Amino acid sequence: MRDAFHADPADVPLAAAMHALSDPLRLRIVELLARDGETECSVIYSALGISKSNASHHFRILRESGLIWRNHQGRQQSARLRGDEFNTRFPGLLDAVLSNIEPGPAAHRPVQQQGVDRIG
């Protein structure tokens, strides 16, 4: 597998950063990575209730905007938020976005919370 392109946040225009943060599903991915740190991609797919192909599309946009870094170790893949680098380029933007994410539908909340919705 070839290495995926990872943008240097210093080279990312504001419009590309805003585009990456404009999608509710990408916001959930960023929120999950901000909360949990580096996470296996399969855990992200499960937690958000999305397919691998759908997630791959969103990961690509987040990589190309300098927001995440994808790691490959054999067959395992993980993602981590590049918060410090992104904040150097766009001071305060990521913190403002993370503090204003609205709760989403059950399919977009962490798995632990989904179980509570089914009880009763």
Domain boundaries, the chain: 9-103
Provide the angle, in degrees to the nearest 10, between the axes of the packed helices 52-64 and 41-48.
Answer: 110
Tens of pLDDT, residue by residue over 22-60, are 999 999 999 999 999 999 999 999 999 999 999 999 999
CATH code of 9-103, in short, is 1.10.10.10
Maximum mean pLDDT: which of 2-6, 83-87, 103-107 = 83-87
Q: pLDDT value at position 73?
A: 85
Cα(25)–Cα(92) distance, integer angstroms: 21
Cα(110)–Cα(69) distance, integer angstroms: 21
Short-list 32, 41, 47, CA closest to 113: 47
